[in-house]
Amino acid sequence: MPPPLEDYVFPDEVGFVTGDAGQGAAGEPMTDLDFVSDSESDLEGFEEIDEDEGTGEDEDVDLDEEATPAMDVDEADNIEADDIEADDIEADDIEADDIEAAKVAEFDEEHEEDGGSDEDDLMEFWVESDLLVPKPAPKIREEPKGPPPAKRQRLSESSGPASKPQAPLCGPYTLYDESGVWAGEVVPDSGCALQLSNHIQVAVPETTLVTPESAYHGFIPPAPEINADSGPKDDASSDLGDEFVEIILEDFSIYGQVGNSASELRPLQFLNAKQARFGRLYFDGVLSAGEKRYFVQRVPFEELSVGNYGIENDSVDGEIWIRSLMNAKTAKNVYYRLGSPSKCYKRYYVVFQWIANLAKYVVDYLEALHSGGRRVGIIDFREDFYKWTALRHSYSQAFQSWFAAYGKQNFCVPVSANIEFLYKETCGVLSPKVALRHRLFHEMLLFDEYKPMGSSTANPQK
């Protein structure tokens, strides 16, 4: 039985497979099967044309005899002979078409009486009549291993859209040239294309000053300015009994003197810290009580007090006071409760409020474990400190906000960074003796918890 019909090329498809004379589908020399003809004269005619003309391109000839140089007799004879051969080739093609049409008509007459021809009879007729040529087997091209040759990396300008990757380039694309030869891969420079947005936000801080506003020329006080010594005490203060007098300090800035340079803003945890070397700080602000407001400038102070200690309180909740040197000399204890900071000092005070709550939770933790006879070390702040504190304040929104600002259960880093402030608060709330009972301050502040090799010095608190 003949091969399937799809394995053959019909006359309309036969010819120059690539459209170029003398080349096959894959750029290989063509054989006799690639042409449809009853004789070999057609192929010989094409070979003679290639030998005489050199190239297969047509040349324009000017018919104007005056502008055309005269040709000799031999050249004219050669041109005339070439024209005759071309006419013969064209006549042979016409004769082949007539023969093909005659064979098809004869086949139709033979099968007309049988009610028509089926597909098998038609295919057998085409094969016996040499009108059907088998298709050449497709050549499978394997992609080369490793980098391709340099000549294969050139992409054809006539490559179709199928060979061009569509943007955005989110992955490698394999490319082939016009002959089907692997040309390489296109890899994007960096991942997928970025998502464009029409919403652009530039976050500019409200202020970037590092010195108080009162240090600049042209500063206008927000309230009438007075001397801190003659500040309101009787009619503009809240008398809380014999313990202390409280006055609200708002719009304040706290700074310190750094050598001979100008005053620079400083956070409150630097006060009386040996590493920071600030035993005294200064503040500017508005003293207010009731409806009266007065502005004071460059008031020195050395005392800082934080309240709301104890596990019954979930946060410091703004219980922060400072005491000026001049108020320390009066008969009554007058303290300034810190309210809203100034614009330039707000970024410092927000950080200190977080550290003040850290000190409250640490002191409560040390007090509770000291009552149980346990000595706390820095290792206890990896997990145990958070678990103990969260167990008692997990219901508190203030505690949740405080923890979210840090976001880690390991508090070794903030504890070690603020160890001096924590030690000062522990001594003030509990006592220096209780503070030194814990390993924490011997490990991180005094560095005498572990004796050196070969030394007989030991921590007496052990």
pLDDT, tens digit, 9 for 90 and up, residues 221-280: 999 998 765 555 544 455 445 567 889 999 999 999 877 766 899 999 999 887 767 888
Non-local CB neighbours of 367 within 8 Å, separated by 6+ positions: 429, 430, 434
Same domain, 384 and 441: yes
Tokens of 394: 């997990």
Measure Cα distances from 224 to 10, 210, 431 in Å.
107, 24, 42
Check whether 46 has a pLDDT greater than 50.
Answer: no
Q: Is residue 159 one of the residues assigned to a domain?
A: yes
Among 344, 372, 395, the domain boundary falls at 344
How many CA atoms within 13 Å lie on the side-chain side of 443?
16
Domain region containing 368: 350-462
Provide the pLDDT for residue 63: 44
Residue 324 lies in a domain: yes
Percentages helix, strand, coil for the chain (3-state, rounded to 5) are 35, 15, 50
Quick one: 214 and 319 in the same domain? Answer: yes
Reported pTM:
0.56
Question: What pLDDT is recorded for position 185?
Answer: 74
**356, 375: one domain:** yes
Give the closest residue to 89 by CA, choosing from 35, 12, 19, 132: 35
Residue 396 lies in a domain: yes
Say if CB 419 and CB 378 are below 8 A apart.
no
Q: Is the pLDDT of residue 417 over 80?
A: yes
Query: Where are any strands of DSSP class E within 234-291?
Result: 238-239, 245-256, 264-265, 281-289
Last residue of a domain, one of 317, 344, 371: 344
The domain tally of the chain equals 4
Task: Note whether residue 141 is domain-resident.
Answer: no
Residue 204 lies inside a defined structural domain of this protein: no
What 3-state class would DSSP assign to 47?
helix
pLDDT band at 112 (very low <50, low <70, confident <90, very high): low
Read off the pLDDT of each residue in 80-88 and give the average, rounded to a whole number.
63
Token pair in block for residue 139: 């050549």
Residue count (the chain): 462
Domain match, 358 and 444 both: yes
In a domain, 63, yes or no: no
Using CA atoms, how far apart are residues 271 and 274, in angstroms rounded to an integer?
9
103 and 170 together in one domain: no
- Using the predicted structure, report yes or no on whether residue 215 has a pLDDT greater than 60: yes
Task: Output the pLDDT for position 93.
Answer: 63
Residue 31 lies in a domain: yes
261 and 381 share one domain:
no
Q: Which residue has the higher pLDDT, 25 or 279?
A: 279
Task: Identify whether 168 is preceded by a cis peptide bond (ω within 30 of 0).
Answer: yes
Query: How confident is the model at residue 234, as a pLDDT?
Result: 44
Residue 79 shares a structural domain with residue 169: no
Predicted confidence at residue 177, as pLDDT, reads: 78
Does residue 41 carry a pLDDT above 50? no
Domain end position, chosen among 318, 344, 370: 344
Q: Which of 146, 110, 148 is nearest to 129 (CA)?
A: 110
- Judge contact between 264 and 256, C-beta under 8 A: yes
Mark whether 354 and 340 lie in a shared domain: no
Which position has the higher pLDDT, 70 or 433?
Answer: 433
Residue 327's pLDDT is what? 84
Residue 461 maps to a domain: yes
Range of lowest pLDDT (47-61, 208-222, 328-342, 435-449): 47-61
The pLDDT-based confidence of 445 (bands split at 50, 70, 90) is very high
- State the Cα–Cα distance between residues 444 and 358, nearest whole angstrom: 16
Q: Is residue 174 domain-shared with residue 96, that is, in the same domain?
A: no
Q: Looking at the structure, tell me whether residues 88 and 163 fall in a common domain.
A: no
Task: Please tell me which residue, 269 or 85, carries the higher pLDDT value.
Answer: 269
Mean pLDDT rounded to a whole number for the chain: 74
Total Cβ atoms within 10 A of residue 39: 10
Same domain, 317 and 385: no
Q: Is the pLDDT at 416 greater than 50, yes or no?
A: yes
Q: Are residues 263 and 171 in the same domain?
A: no
Which residue would you say has higher pLDDT here, 232 or 423? 423
Higher pLDDT, 382 or 31: 382
| Secondary structure class of 211 (helix, strand, coil) | coil
Report the amino acid identity of residue 330: T
